[in-house]
């Protein structure tokens, strides 16, 4: 069995952060039943361009493999009745909505405990279910600004800059997945479930990490650094070569001494201005131009083998294409394949969550409402009359 094969999750989710979290639960075996709103054509991720046709998009495929889909209108009493039946046979209900909506849709533990006392209600919202911003919508881009990330990203003197990836969304998904697993473990141990009130805002603030600690306790002012330099370790940054860029990181004194040998300047190791971490940081403006000039004189192919042979942490600044073609990517099986009727054989990044042997039988993302028969008949035991009555009452919407 896969590690989470005995876990069933009802996921009221859409777009990026929420589905990113549950795909890393579905990959190790959890049954994720994705609830899609029939009034809006299902998950908006189905319609993200440029690689989109009909209700299929490569964006949606990335975040929804190994899941099942059920169209359900939670704004109707009949839709809520089906939801409660799903809660009875599930371990968790997971959502990524605005902070005021989980309670409005009846997705909290207080509202569902009478249905299933062990249910874990995991809500990943923009700003959380409390506080003055709880009812505001939030997206990764906005949160990178509010949480101070943009003020730290980019070159000094340049405009505030967003990370090239939606890291608040993705880290939020991982945090929600971790919270859900913790909650299910506790519910099975203690016999009762709980709420997991998670927010992308909390995640973004938490990830300010040690610069925030420095600021709060010593008045440190985080600032942008040239060439993506580390705020305290010198040298630890991007360096231009004659034909590209590399990253060199001297996180230990031994690496610094080895670097002086590689660049054929052993005198720098004993220079009183650069003898230890503190002195190199104080004299950064003297040391870095020396290294920049040396490293810029030769190509990447010259420096990287020599740095690797010396055991100095280093690597190329790859394009995305180069990163996906790295030998280590293949060695770690970090690309998965699925078959799709419209797109053919698809490749996508694998989950980094490794527990035992990774699964090898990945399913494509579900078509909208593809699993209605399996969920309603096989899982919930609805007969034809019950299904027709629910359909007439609007539970499954009008396609």
* CATH 3.40.50.10540 fits domain 8-206+331-392: yes
Paired with 248 in beta bridges are 237, 314
Q: In 272-389, at which residue ranges do the beta strands (DSSP E only) sit? A: 314-316, 335-340, 344-349
Question: What predicted TM-score, i.e. pTM, was given to this entire model?
Answer: 0.94
* Domain boundaries defined on the chain: 8-206+331-392, 226-317
pLDDT score at 358 = 81
Query: Which tens digit of pLDDT belongs to each residue from 205-260?
Result: 999 999 999 999 999 999 999 999 999 999 999 999 999 999 999 999 999 999 99
Q: Which CATH class is domain 226-317?
A: alpha beta
pLDDT score at 398 = 77
Please say if the pLDDT value at position 102 is more than 70. Answer: yes
Query: Which tens digit of pLDDT belongs to each residue from 265-278?
Result: 999 999 999 999 99
- Across the range 178-188, mean pLDDT stands at 98
pLDDT score at 84 = 98
CB–CB of 311/249 below 8 Å?
no
* 230 assigned to active site: yes
Kindly report the average pLDDT of the chain as a whole number: 96
pLDDT score at 360 = 84
Residue 235 preceded by cis peptide, ω within 30: yes
Find the DSSP H helices in the chain: 17-26, 58-64, 77-88, 101-104, 109-112, 140-146, 167-190, 200-206, 209-218, 253-262, 267-270, 277-282, 284-295, 300-309, 320-324, 327-331, 372-373, 384-392
pLDDT score at 301 = 97
Please say if the pLDDT value at position 175 is more than 90. Answer: yes
Please say if the pLDDT value at position 117 is more than 90. Answer: yes
- Across the range 370-397, mean pLDDT stands at 96
- Other C-beta atoms closer than 10 Å to the C-beta of 149 total 21
CB–CB of 73/38 below 8 Å?
yes
Whether 8-206+331-392 and 226-317 share one fold: the answer is no
Tell me which of 24, 114, 230, 340 is the catalytic residue.
230
What does the alpha-carbon distance between residue 83 and residue 90 come to, in Å, rounded to a whole number?
10
pLDDT band of residue 15 (cuts 50, 70, 90) is: very high
pLDDT score at 399 = 59
CB–CB of 166/147 below 8 Å?
no
């Amino acid at each position: 069995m896969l590690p989470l094969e005995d876990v069933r999750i009802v996921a009221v989710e859409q777009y990026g952060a929420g589905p990113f979290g549950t795909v890393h639960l579905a990959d190790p075996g959890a049954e994720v039943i994705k609830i899609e709103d029939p009034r809006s054509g299902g998950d908006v991720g189905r319609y993200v361009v440029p690689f989109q046709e009909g209700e299929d998009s490569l964006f949606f495929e990335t975040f929804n493999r190994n899941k099942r889909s059920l169209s359900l209108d939670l704004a109707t009493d009949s839709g809520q009745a089906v939801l409660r039946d799903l809660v009875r046979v599930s371990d968790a209900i997971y959502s990524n909505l605005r902070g005021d909506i989980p309670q409005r849709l009846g997705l909290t533990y207080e509202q569902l405990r009478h249905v299933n006392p062990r249910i874990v209600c995991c809500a990943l919202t923009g700003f959380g279910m409390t506080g003055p911003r709880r009812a505001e919508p939030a997206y990764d881009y906005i949160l990178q600004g509010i949480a101070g990330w943009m003020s730290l990203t980019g070159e000094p003197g340049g405009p505030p800059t967003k990370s090239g990836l939606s890291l608040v969304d993705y880290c939020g998904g991982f945090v929600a997945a971790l919270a859900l697993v913790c909650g299910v473990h506790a519910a099975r141990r203690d016999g009762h479930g709980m709420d997991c009130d998670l927010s992308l805002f909390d995640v973004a603030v938490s990830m300010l990490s040690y610069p925030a600690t420095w600021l709060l306790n010593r008045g440190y002012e985080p600032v942008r650094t040239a060439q993506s330099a580390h705020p305290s370790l010198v040298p630890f940054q991007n360096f231009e070569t004659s034909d590209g860029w590399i990253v060199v990181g001297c996180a230990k004194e031994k690496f610094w001494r080895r670097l002086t040998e590689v660049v054929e300047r052993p005198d720098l190791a004993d220079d009183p201005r650069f003898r230890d971490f503190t002195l190199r940081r104080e004299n950064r403006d003297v040391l870095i131009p020396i290294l920049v000039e040396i490293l810029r004189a030769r190509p990447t192919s010259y420096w990287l083998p020599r740095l690797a042979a010396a055991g100095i942490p280093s690597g190329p600044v790859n394009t995305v294409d180069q990163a996906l073609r790295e030998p280590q990517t293949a060695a770690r099986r970090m690309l998965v394949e699925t078959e799709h009727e419209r797109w053919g054989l698809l490749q996508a990044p694998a989950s980094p969550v490794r527990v035992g042997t990774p699964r090898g039988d990945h399913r494509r993302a579900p078509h909208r409402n593809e699993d209605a028969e399996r969920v309603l008949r096989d899982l919930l035991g609805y007969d034809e009359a019950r299904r027709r009555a629910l359909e007439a009452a609007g539970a499954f919407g009008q396609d």
